[in-house]
Structure 1
Amino acid sequence: MYKSLRAVPFRRSLSATKRVLAPQSVAAITEDAHKSQNSSTVGQEATESALGLTQTGVQRIDNLTRRVSRDIKLGRDEVATRLLPRMGSQDRPATVVYCNYLLNSCARARNLNMAKEVYRFMERNGLRMNEISYGCFLRTLCRTGQLDEALELLSVLSRSKGVKANLVMYNTVLNGCSLAKSKVHADKCLALMDRQGVAKDEMSYVELIKLSGLLQDTSSVKRWWEELVTKGELSPSSRCTAIVALCRSRALPEALTALTEMSNILSANSSFHLLPGKRSRPPRSETESDTREELSSSQSERRSEPHTGHDIPGSSEAQPLTGFHHWEVRKELQDAFNALINAAGQAGQHKLAESLFSEMRNLGLRLSIYTFNALLRAVVEGRGVSHALRVVRSMEAVGVRPDTHTFTTLLDGYSRSGKLDKAEALLAKMEDSKPNQRPSIYTYNILIKACASKNDPERALRVFAKMKESGTAPDSHTYCALLSACGAVSGRPDLSDAWSRKEVAQRVIAIEKDMAQSGVHHTAASVSALMSVLGSEGIVDAMLQNLRACQETDLTTRKKLLDTTAYNTAMNAFVQSKKFDEAWDIFTEMRSLDVRPDIYTYNILINACSHKQSVSTALELMDIMRKAKIAPDLITYNSLIKVMCHCGELDSGLRVLGEMQDAGVQPDVTTFNTLLASASYHKRKGLAEYLVEEMRLCNVAPDTHTCSQVISLYMRSGNLAEASEALSVLSSRMRKPMGTQQGVTEEDENASSDKDSDEELEAALLSPEPEAHAVYTSTLAGVIQGPHDASYIENSTWATRLREQHELWNRGLQKGTT
């Protein structure tokens, strides 16, 4: 950002000092020195002077400045502080130029303490800071995160009568805002620029675009980019920064448009395609050619498949490129392509990533390891590991050696597909590879997390042991995954026993002991994992102790260990353990500590109201949700319906069904089963038939619980024929949901029907429940009558009657008490 201080008069003084010495031979100088020797002390000084070993004032201050600068860069503040006063006591004291050199070293080393020492040294020696001095000091403040002090200094300089704040200083502060991802400080800096009448230049817009991209603020990126375009011709670096920012904010269409414009500008320059003394692209081997054809085939697929909605235009109106070297533009274009390939992979558009990769080859751009790794992540996500291995062979064919990120991406693909044996074998191969291919902390964390998802604690511990043997220090994510993998034994509080609770307690103690030995402190994620492990085994007392300890830590330090997820985990554990008052107390504490509840918080508490049979509390929670502008989801409505049905308020539950449909929330089979269970319990046959028909209209397929509730209702009233017919209709809808199965032949349908009938008959024979007798009788009747197609079943007497009654119900002719 600033002009390098290596070109300041300080460097020129060094060159001038070297020219002072005459080019005499060493023998001649030594002879003259011996002749002028009068005494031991005088003779030594004369000899050193004649040999050029003594230093002039300029040389001494130059060398001393170098020593102080080196100590600053190496972090030896005490040595630098001790040497700094000597710069003012030399024959030729330090000037502002020397101090600027030290301030620049402080900025590069991010050493604010030494920058303040240099500032105090300048004050003691009467050296006034100039624009470069303030610029370096501002850069030190920004790079160390002291944006408030930087803005205060900028405000003072803007009102100063001496050195005024210039545009470079404002851009320095904007750069610090982008490094700290602070939009608040950037807005303050822009306001200060507006008050002082300082107009933004290209660098200002670049920093604002960069900040907006880091914050994933797409609208701000577009706004600053549009303003920058209107300023005139843009540098390749600015275009690349805009493309990277658009990619970070997930604005792929706009990023593609900007990349196309940049490519078209390059295409208008003949110097772009051929580099002096180099080929435009390396020769391809057969393997690489085959892989290129495979990757390039996605372009033809994209013409027929609207998978992304984006295409890279071929040619448009080209603009001449002036004022920039072709190698500079190529480098920026390569970075832009790499960013877009990476963004396409993250968005799940692997075909777009492959097309961009092919376009890079067509333009003769350099395919770096970053390019291949970005493509590899996209291919693993979209096509699988088998296709990703072809990409690895392609990169090896062009001389790009895989690195740690390459193998980690492959290991991640194996882990996601559940192939943990192959993932572990690849990890062993990485451990025996070169240093740049050995596993990182991220590699081990991926595999341990996969072991947790597959409930494989033995493998997780084995991977963790390999990690410790390799000398890789674990972090909080490692222990978070390890707690998830090794913490749970039974998985549910109602299934836990004394042995499982003791086993979990021993594992948790061992993991936390290893955390302390490794110097790793708990984070919000690891605390949530710990709460989940203890809660899943019903060890709520230990969980509550950890919760209280974390609350004290949050109050005494700035580090927040308890977030919404941790409180939700604790509340859910208390609900599962039937301790509802404790769950409500945690909810109250959570709100008092300014931890904002989310949709999961209210779903847990409303579900708890069904156990306490408290409709008023559930409705109160719904009101709190609406005031907090949190929209209820399917789980919220299902829990509320469950509360009302358990409390005997079936009609209220039916009204909630209408409310959720009006709110655009589609009910599922759990919604209807809850209402059907209550209707069956209260022997409300008409309402149950209405709900069955409503299920069909909502295109919700019934399940075994639906059949059980409907059939038990008919069996209690002695309607065996209706029970048999209802089972035929509902089982047909279970086997073939409305509008979901296509191309099923009659033979396959009959075979499926026979298989289902056999299973239902076997289950009925083994079950003593009354509903099982209905299943047995209806299944036996179906076997005797023979299978019927779906159209015949849907036009049966029972199905037709339900449709007619549903219309009457909606018209208000059928009352809810029938």
Structure 2
Amino acid sequence: MRIPLRLIAGTLCRFKSGELQPRRRNLIRRLGLCRTLTTITGNVFFGYGEEPITKSFQVQIVDALRSGERSRASSLLLDFGNGNQSLQADDFVYILKYCATSPDPLFVMETWRLMMEKEIGLNNKCYFLMVQALCRGGYLEEACNFMKFLGENHGIYPLLPVYNCFLSACAKMKSIVHANQCLDLMEQRKVGKNEITYSELLKLAVWQQDPSAAHEIWKDYIKRYSLNIISLQEFISSFAKLEDLKSAYEALQHMVALVISGKHLVSLHSSRLDIPIPSKVELESPNVQSKENEQLLALKFDIDAFNTDNMLNKHKNLPAMKALRWSFNDVLQACARARDYELAEQLITLMQNLGVLPLSRTYDGFVRAIIQTRGFAAGMKVLKVMEERNLKPYRSTLASLSVQCSKELELDLAESLLEQVCTFPHPYPFNALLEACDTMDQPKRALRILAKMRQLKIQPDIMTYELLFSIFANVNFPYEAGNRLSHVDSRKRINAIEMDMAQNGVHHSHQSMKNLLKALGAEGMTTELLQYLHVAEKLFFRTNTYFGTPIYNIVLRSLVNAAESDTAILIFKNMKSSGLQPNAMTYNIMVDCCSYIRCFKSGCALLSMMVRHGFIPGTSTYTALIKILLKYDDFDEALSLLDQASLEGCQMDVVFYNTILRRASEMVRIDIIEFIIERMHRDKVQPDPSTCAYVFSAYVDGGFYNTAIEALQVLSMWMISYEEITLEEKKIEYEDNFVLSDDFQAESRILQIFKDYDEYLAVALLNLRWCAILGFPISWSPNQSQWVTKIDS
């Protein structure tokens, strides 16, 4: 049923005059008839709830924008501008407010265009809302041009909040160019600064990582304003983010002094315009600091000067305490990034003395600062303290502790800490544990870590895949040679890893390709090795030849180890023809290749080429040359080369000496064996299991059985230590638990030492136990052995 318009109008008139009964008046209010009639008739004021027609149009336009009907909103805006009513800037405020909060910079520009066409002058309120909408929408260039245009052509009075709004947008969008344009505009129009201006400029300085700019803002600020908790908190946070620990700590000291003095009321930033931008002359002239700042900055902060027993208890319920605690946290986080454990410990002590209770974030910064120097054990103690105080550790705290445990090869604890992490945005703690699994050769644990990453939906990064190639791409290395079965398994693993890389959009890096090539070389898969070399050439060498030589070195070493000398020589020639310069390692590998083709002349030519290119021959070079000479059983030349290398200052290693011992053992050259052992003993080069094997085999093959056992004992002792004091200290422990033990588990305990990657000690104890089982007495003073006396003479 339609209600006649006249009846509605008459009813409303009676409503306004008070002639209606109260029940009918309430009914009219509930039905909203006043507002309805106002919309229909277009009257400006008409009783309860009436609104101007301009507001009604604005509401309709905003409703259309909220509904996403932009074409309808534009049409309504056009009708609004073409109406008969006289419009002013205030008639657009409701639309502009919506555009500023949405934000909707495009409709603001449309509104401004209409206002210009209708020659409607802007006021400061509309001006601010328009700039705000453009800034929040990311239209900084348009906002800047808008500010310039209005200032030049419309004479709008320069409002500091407008410029602060623009600077805030520049800080959020990290646009230094627009910020500088704004500052130039402010200087041209003599617009001053207030505390908000300094706050936004400080954010820009932090984003630029410009400590000098932050210090200039600090100096300028304290000249003109009294320091308060809020301003100090901002400066402390900024200095901490800039990793300027000294300035952050000094500002923190001022903050503590301010709280202790009782002048710590937290006030919002003032928006008053009281600081004009000075000229260069004014900047150069000294400015008088405020009296309060002089007193505060001159205060020598000495914790012993205060009564630290519950010093701040009376302030615990104040917002100042919360700000103080967060500032401590900011500086501790900076200590963690700078690995400054000493300052972190000072801060924690200071908080305790002041009665500022640490929170989880406090301990997060403290733990991450100290564990990198003090080790994971110190961090675990802090974790225990947190547990006693019912504080839940941050994910970053657990992750950092896990990383440190991984670095110290405490894999069980590292994995346990990661199990407590429910979610984590980055793969770095898992990568650290995978790296430790690679070091400790624990692929099963690595699989569990991968499963945990999948469970937490953590996307692997390139470092993850680099480690996966290192852990899983080779099957038998280092203790067994590759075979057909292991080659099939290796191919499957490599394909699976590369498929996962493709699914996650991760491409090969230089390191991942190196690890993959190493794995293929360790398995002896030369065909696949060459195929991936061609892939690497396409990926890296065309854009950056720097990556080429290390990758070629891996391929060449693998080919030489696989006795593929001809292929290695061909690859070496291709490498040089493609413009890649060999390095010292390349030459060493190719000299070693000459030992397989038995060509000492080629080795010398490579040595000469190496010297011409500025590389000094090292131990590896001489080892490779000696291998060539020993192919011809030329021990005299080999020992002569040994003397030459020694004269040139090369530090001989066990691999160098083992090269000679191996051939001497094969030829049962006892004289050479004893000569080399004497040189090793004199140079303090510790023997390894291969040394023991070569010497023992030579004496056995020569029929000197007792000497073989004696030499084996001496070399095993030297593998443990050259120092007789150390051997004497370890004698009881090793004899009771390993060497002379009647326990059937003794060998298992020795094997556990081997699994813990103390290979030399494990082999030495096995050798000594075997000698004891054969009935030979064990002497823990090897230097008193007759065999040692003999070789020394």
Shorter-chain TM band: 0.5 to 0.7
**Aligned match of 2:786 in 784, 787, 793?**
784
Q: Deviations over 1:27-80 (max 9, x none)?
A: 9432468999xxxx99x979x99xx996311599389659949x98xxx56057
Question: Is residue 253 from structure 1 mapped to residue 253 from structure 2 by the alignment?
Answer: no
Q: 2:338 corresponds to which residue? A: 347
Closer/same/farther in 2, CA of residues 721 and 488 from structure 1, 3 Å limit: closer
Question: How many Å separate the matches in 1 of 2:127 and 2:474?
Answer: 61
Q: CA deviation at 1:209?
A: 3.7
Question: Is residue 56 from structure 1 mapped to residue 44 from structure 2 by the alignment?
Answer: no
Q: 2:309 corresponds to which residue? A: none
Question: How many Å separate the matches in 1 of 2:213 and 2:556?
Answer: 45
Percent of pairs with identical residues: 19
Q: 1:810 corresponds to which residue? A: none
Q: 1:9 corresponds to which residue? A: none
**Aligned match of 1:589 in 542, 550, 562?**
542
SS of residue paired to 2:349: helix
The amino acid that maps onto 1:746 is: E
SS of residue paired to 2:351: helix
SS of residue paired to 2:505: coil
| Correspondences of 1:125-274 after superposition (within 5 Å) | 127-156=120-149, 159-163=152-156, 167-187=160-180, 189-190=182-183, 203-222=196-215, 224-226=217-219, 228=221, 233-234=226-227, 236-267=229-260, 269-272=261-264
Q: 1:730 corresponds to which residue? A: 680
Q: 2:620 corresponds to which residue? A: 673
SS of residue paired to 1:522: coil
Question: How many Å separate the matches in 1 of 2:681 and 2:86?
Answer: 97
Q: Deviations over 1:554-592 (max 9, x none)?
A: xxxxxxxxxxxxxxxxxxx9995377666555445325x
| Correspondences of 1:276-291 after superposition (within 5 Å) | none
Q: CA deviation at 1:350?
A: 3.1
Which range is displaced more, 682-691 or 57-66? 57-66
Larger Rg: 2
Q: CA deviation at 1:345?
A: 1.6
SS of residue paired to 2:209: coil
Q: CA deviation at 1:357?
A: 2.5
Q: CA deviation at 1:340?
A: 1.0
The amino acid that maps onto 1:253 is: K
TM superposition score normalised by structure 1: 0.57
Q: CA deviation at 1:342?
A: 0.7
Question: How many Å separate the matches in 1 of 2:214 and 2:406?
Answer: 36
Q: CA deviation at 1:391?
A: 3.7
Q: 1:650 corresponds to which residue? A: 607
Question: How many Å separate the matches in 2 of 1:719 and 1:153?
Answer: 94
Q: Deviations over 1:410-456 (max 9, x none)?
A: 665666665666666666666xxxxxxxx224378744763475266
Contact 2:337-2:369 at 8 Å conserved across structures: yes
Q: 2:487 corresponds to which residue? A: 497
Closer/same/farther in 2, CA of residues 586 and 704 from structure 1, 3 Å limit: same
**Aligned match of 1:704 in 629, 654, 665?**
654
Question: How many Å separate the matches in 2 of 1:653 and 1:483?
Answer: 32
Q: Which runs of 5+ in 1 are unaligned?
A: 1-20, 276-310, 318-325, 431-438, 516-520, 540-572, 592-596, 623-634, 661-669, 764-779, 798-818
Q: 2:530 corresponds to which residue? A: 577
Contact 1:452-1:482 at 8 Å conserved across structures: no
The amino acid that maps onto 1:78 is: G
C-alpha root-mean-square deviation of aligned residues, in Å? 6.1
SS of residue paired to 1:442: coil
Kindly tell me the number of residue pairs found equivalent between the two proteins. Answer: 612
Q: Deviations over 1:62-105 (max 9, x none)?
A: 89659949x98xxx560577568668859999964575565555
Q: Deviations over 1:700-721 (max 9, x none)?
A: 5x43212235668999999976
Q: Deviations over 1:200-226 (max 9, x none)?
A: 665555444433433434455445545
Contact 1:103-1:137 at 8 Å conserved across structures: yes
Q: CA deviation at 1:240?
A: 3.2
Question: How many Å separate the matches in 2 of 1:744 and 1:680?
Answer: 28
Contact 1:107-1:140 at 8 Å conserved across structures: yes
Q: CA deviation at 1:356?
A: 1.1
The amino acid that maps onto 1:692 is: S
Question: Is residue 748 from structure 1 mapped to residue 726 from structure 2 by the alignment?
Answer: yes
Q: Deviations over 1:670-721 (max 9, x none)?
A: 942234433664647656434335547xxx5x43212235668999999976
Question: How many Å separate the matches in 1 of 2:399 and 2:766?
Answer: 49
Q: 1:692 corresponds to which residue? A: 646
Question: How many Å separate the matches in 2 of 1:103 and 1:34?
Answer: 35
The amino acid that maps onto 1:254 is: S
Which range is displaced more, 336-345 or 497-506? 497-506
| Correspondences of 1:52-451 after superposition (within 5 Å) | 55-57=49-51, 61=55, 68=62, 76=66, 78=68, 82=72, 89=80, 96=89, 99=92, 103=96, 106-107=99-100, 109=102, 111-113=104-106, 115-116=108-109, 119=112, 127-156=120-149, 159-163=152-156, 167-187=160-180, 189-190=182-183, 203-222=196-215, 224-226=217-219, 228=221, 233-234=226-227, 236-267=229-260, 269-272=261-264, 314=303, 330-365=321-356, 367-383=358-374, 387-388=378-379, 390-392=381-383, 394-395=385-386, 400-402=391-393, 439-442=422-425, 446-447=429-430, 450-451=433-434
The amino acid that maps onto 2:168 is: N
SS of residue paired to 1:339: helix
Contact 2:367-2:397 at 8 Å conserved across structures: yes
Question: How many Å separate the matches in 2 of 1:605 and 1:465?
Answer: 34
Question: How many Å separate the matches in 2 of 1:718 and 1:487?
Answer: 40
Q: Deviations over 1:707-741 (max 9, x none)?
A: 2356689999999767634433334544579xxx9
Question: How many Å separate the matches in 1 of 2:665 and 2:446?
Answer: 52
Contact 1:122-1:128 at 8 Å conserved across structures: yes
Question: How many Å separate the matches in 2 of 1:112 and 1:29?
Answer: 48
Q: Which runs of 5+ in 2 are unaligned?
A: 1-13, 268-299, 307-316, 558-567, 594-602, 630-636, 688-718, 740-759, 768-781
Question: How many Å separate the matches in 2 of 1:189 and 1:105?
Answer: 25
The amino acid that maps onto 1:678 is: L
The amino acid that maps onto 1:343 is: A
Closer/same/farther in 2, CA of residues 400 and 727 from structure 1, 3 Å limit: closer
Closer/same/farther in 2, CA of residues 726 and 419 from structure 1, 3 Å limit: closer
SS of residue paired to 2:243: coil
Closer/same/farther in 2, CA of residues 479 and 729 from structure 1, 3 Å limit: closer
Question: How many Å separate the matches in 2 of 1:465 and 1:186?
Answer: 48
TM superposition score normalised by structure 2: 0.58
